[in-house]
Chains A and B, each alone.
Chain A
C-alpha cells in the first residue's frame, strides 16, 4: 500500500511534447508508471514517447483513456489554465511541476479547486513516487526502494538527498510526496501527514521543511495532538541570514516568523526527532524500525 499513487494510477501528461514533458514521460514509463495519454493543444491525434496517444484537450484524454491522475509540465503562463482544465475534466489527482506561477493566480486556482473533488500537489514541486509501483514526478526513480517510511517535503532535490541516504541504509519508502515550495499550493504537510497516519503500509514519517511560513508549526500541532506514528524531521536554512530570499518563495525569512529555530522548537515539542543534516535522518529513522 501507499498513498495517492499506486498500480491503479492512470497518468495523463500535460505538455508531453515539450522537452521536459517528453523526457520525464519517458522516465516515468521506464519506471513502470502507467502513462495512458498526453494532452497538448494542437497536437491531438499524434503519438508521443513511444506509443502514448496525444489529445487536444484533457476532457478528451480522460474520456478516451480513463486517466485519473495528471502531471503538468507546461510553462508558467499556461500552467494554471492546465490545472483548471484537469480539475474540470474530473482528474482526481493533479501534480503541477511548473515553477514561477504568480501567487495570486494560485490563490484563485486553489479557491476554485477547493470546490471540486480534485487534489493538487505543487506547483513548483518534484511530484511523488510510491517506490516499485508508480512515479508521478521528476525524481530519479532508482534512488528509491519500496518500504515503510512515508516522506513529505517542501523541497525537491533535498528530498532526493534524504531518500538516497535512507535507501543506502536499506530503509525503504511507502510514498515520497514533494509538496513544493510555493506560498500557495495544493496539499500541505498537514494533509499528507493525515494520509500517512491512515496508511497501513506507512510505519513512520520523515518531514523535510525549510525556513519561511508556518506550515511546519501547523504540522507540529497535528503531530503532538493526533499522530501515533513516529516522525523525524530536517529543517533547511538554519544558517540562512535573516531578511534574504533564498531562491524561491518558500524560503523567505521575514521578521520573527518562519525561522528554522522556531520550526525546530515546535517540532521538538511535538516529540519529533530532528536531524542536523540530511544523512542523519537515515540514522534516526533506523532507530524506529
Chain B
C-alpha cells in the first residue's frame, strides 16, 4: 500500500525528521487560508499516487495567498495519469541550497534493510544509479541490532556532506530507519532532503510504501489508504481476500496461486488470446470466495469467456466446484466458462461440476485453447 506525500511526511515528522510548514487543502479557499497562515511563498503540490507530478503540471509555486488560491483551483480536479487530484499539499516553499537523497528499502537479496544516500537529490534515484552509481552510498542494517551511528556517519561522509550538517543528517537517517521499521514499510524515501538558506535540513518530499502483510497490525496507517490507489473492482476484490488486477483482454481468469495465474496469462497469450485480468483466489479459498471472484470477473463487459484453472493443494477442488455451481445458479452467466481442475479432491470436484452439466478439462493447454476459441465465438 502507498502513502501520499503528506501522509509520509507526517510519519517522518513524528520521528523527528524536520518537514516544511504546511497543510492539506481540498478546495482553493482552504489552500488560500493555509498560505495566509504560512505568510510566505508556498508550493502547491497535487497529492496523487503516481510519479511525475511535477512534469504533469501538478506542482506549482505561489507567491501570495491570492496566487495560492488561483493555482490550487487549477491543480484540484486536474487529471494526472488517469487519477483526479482531490487534495493538494500547501507547503512553505523551501529556500533550497542543496538537495540530498535518502531512503530505506528492504533489500531481499541481502535480507536486510538497505539505507541509501546520495548527494544527487531531487532526481529519480534510478537515473543516478544508471549514470553515476558511485554517487550512491549504501549501508545494510542488521535486523537484530538496528541502525548504528557509524553507519549513518558512513553515509554522511560518503556523500561528502559538509561537516556542520553531519550531526543533523545522522539523526535523520537513524530516525528514518526507526520510522521504516515501526511502520512495517518496504520503502521510505526522502527526496529531496534539502539544506535550506537557514542551513537546516528538511524533508521536502517523501514517499512510503507499506508491507501489505503487516497492515493488520498497522491499523492507523492502513486507515490512510486512498481508495483511488486501485480501481473500485480491485478494492472490492482485496476486501474479500482476492488479488485482482484489471487488464485489457477478453478472457476472464480465475486461478489459485499467483505463479500459476501469471503462467495461465502467459499461455493465453501464447495461444493467441488475451487475458482480461489477473485473479488469484489465494490458498484455501472456499465456495464463497469463488462466487465473489466470478461476480467480479463477469462484471467486466469485455469478458467473452471465463477460464477457471484450479490446481488443488491447500485449495480443495470440491469447494471450488461448489462455488462455481452456486455462482452459475445465482448470477446471470452469458459467457462460456471453461473449467480445468486437478489436485486435492479433484474427483469430488469434477463430479459436482458434472452433476450441473459443466464440462471440465484435464490439461491446461487444452483448457486455454478452449477458452481462446470460445472468446472468439468458436464454441467452447
A→B interface (CB under 8 Å): 20, 24, 27, 76-77, 97, 99-104, 107-108, 110-112, 126, 138-140, 143, 153-161, 164, 181, 183-184, 208, 210-211, 213-215, 218, 234, 236-241, 244-251, 255-256, 276-279
Residue contact B278 to A158, C-beta cutoff 8 Å: no
Residues of A within 8 A of B245 (CB): 241, 244-246
Which of B216, B258, B262, B342 has the most chain A CB atoms inside 10 A of its CB? B258
Partner pick for B263 among A101, A143, A214, A277, CB 8 A cutoff: A277
Residues of A within 8 A of B227 (CB): none
Residue contact A104 to B257, C-beta cutoff 8 Å: no
Residue contact A140 to B261, C-beta cutoff 8 Å: no
Residues of A within 8 A of B240 (CB): none
Residue contact A161 to B258, C-beta cutoff 8 Å: no
Residues of B within 8 A of A159 (CB): 259
Residues of B within 8 A of A211 (CB): 262
Residue contact B266 to A237, C-beta cutoff 8 Å: yes
Residue contact A239 to B275, C-beta cutoff 8 Å: yes
Residue contact A104 to B184, C-beta cutoff 8 Å: yes
Residue contact A213 to B108, C-beta cutoff 8 Å: yes
Residues of A within 8 A of B255 (CB): 157
Residue contact A77 to B216, C-beta cutoff 8 Å: yes
Residue contact A103 to B186, C-beta cutoff 8 Å: yes
By beta carbon, the residue of chain B nearest A159 is B259
Partner pick for B343 among A112, A160, A278, CB 8 A cutoff: A160
Residues of B within 8 A of A104 (CB): 106, 113, 143, 181, 184, 211, 214
CB of B318 within 8 Å of the partner chain: no
Residue contact A277 to B365, C-beta cutoff 8 Å: yes
| Complex CA distance for A277 and B314, rounded to whole angstroms | 23
CB of B8 within 8 Å of the partner chain: no
Which of B213, B245, B365 has the most chain A CB atoms inside 10 A of its CB? B213
Residues of A within 8 A of B344 (CB): 27, 140
> Would you call the interface of chain B mostly helix, strand, loop, or mixed?
mixed
Residue contact A160 to B269, C-beta cutoff 8 Å: no
Residues of A within 8 A of B106 (CB): 103-104, 107, 183-184
Residue contact B109 to A240, C-beta cutoff 8 Å: no
Residue contact B144 to A251, C-beta cutoff 8 Å: no
Residues of B within 8 A of A278 (CB): 263, 267, 364
Residues of A within 8 A of B186 (CB): 103, 183
By beta carbon, the residue of chain A nearest B142 is A111
| Complex CA distance for A85 and B258, rounded to whole angstroms | 30
Closest Cβ of chain A to B129, distance in Å, is 9
CB of B265 within 8 Å of the partner chain: yes
Residue contact B260 to A158, C-beta cutoff 8 Å: yes
| Complex CA distance for A108 and B145, rounded to whole angstroms | 10
By beta carbon, the residue of chain A nearest B281 is A247
Residues of B within 8 A of A158 (CB): 257, 259-260, 262-263, 311
Residues of A within 8 A of B259 (CB): 153-159, 181, 208, 210, 236, 250-251
CB of B40 within 8 Å of the partner chain: no
Known contacts A20-B284, A161-B263; A138/B143 CB under 8 A: no
By beta carbon, the residue of chain B nearest A154 is B259
Partner pick for A108 among B144, B214, B263, B312, CB 8 A cutoff: B144
Residue contact B364 to A102, C-beta cutoff 8 Å: no
Residue contact B278 to A247, C-beta cutoff 8 Å: yes
Residues of A within 8 A of B363 (CB): 279
| Complex CA distance for A259 and B269, rounded to whole angstroms | 17
Residue contact A248 to B258, C-beta cutoff 8 Å: yes
Residues of A within 8 A of B311 (CB): 157-158, 160-161, 164
By beta carbon, the residue of chain B nearest A210 is B259
Closest Cβ of chain B to A142, distance in Å, is 9
| Complex CA distance for A108 and B212, rounded to whole angstroms | 18
| Complex CA distance for A101 and B142, rounded to whole angstroms | 19
| Complex CA distance for A76 and B282, rounded to whole angstroms | 15
Residue contact B313 to A240, C-beta cutoff 8 Å: no
| Complex CA distance for A217 and B275, rounded to whole angstroms | 28
For B337-358 the 0/1 string (1 means CB < 8 A from A) is 0000011101000000000000
Residue contact B270 to A102, C-beta cutoff 8 Å: no
For B2-45 the 0/1 string (1 means CB < 8 A from A) is 00000000000000000000000000000000000000000000
Closest Cβ of chain A to B78, distance in Å, is 21
By beta carbon, the residue of chain B nearest A248 is B258
Residues of A within 8 A of B214 (CB): 102-104
| Complex CA distance for A218 and B243, rounded to whole angstroms | 28
Closest Cβ of chain B to A263, distance in Å, is 13
Closest Cβ of chain A to B206, distance in Å, is 18
Known contacts A210-B259, A211-B262, then 7 further A-B pairs from the complex at CB < 8 Å, ordered by chain A residue: A104-B113, A111-B143, A112-B144, A158-B259, A183-B106, A210-B258, A238-B266
| Complex CA distance for A156 and B181, rounded to whole angstroms | 29
25 contacts between A and B (CB under 8 A): A20-B314, A76-B216, A99-B283, A100-B212, A104-B143, A108-B143, A112-B144, A156-B257, A157-B257, A157-B260, A158-B263, A183-B186, A210-B262, A234-B263, A236-B266, A238-B266, A239-B268, A247-B262, A248-B280, A249-B213, A256-B126, A277-B263, A277-B267, A279-B363, A279-B365
Which of B126, B259, B260 has the most chain A CB atoms inside 10 A of its CB? B259
CB of B60 within 8 Å of the partner chain: no
CB of B111 within 8 Å of the partner chain: yes
Residue contact A76 to B247, C-beta cutoff 8 Å: no
Residue contact B312 to A140, C-beta cutoff 8 Å: yes
| Complex CA distance for A140 and B126, rounded to whole angstroms | 43
| Complex CA distance for A156 and B259, rounded to whole angstroms | 7
For B268-291 the 0/1 string (1 means CB < 8 A from A) is 111000010010100110000000
| Complex CA distance for A27 and B316, rounded to whole angstroms | 12
By beta carbon, the residue of chain A nearest B274 is A239
By beta carbon, the residue of chain A nearest B245 is A244
Closest Cβ of chain A to B103, distance in Å, is 13
CB of B112 within 8 Å of the partner chain: yes
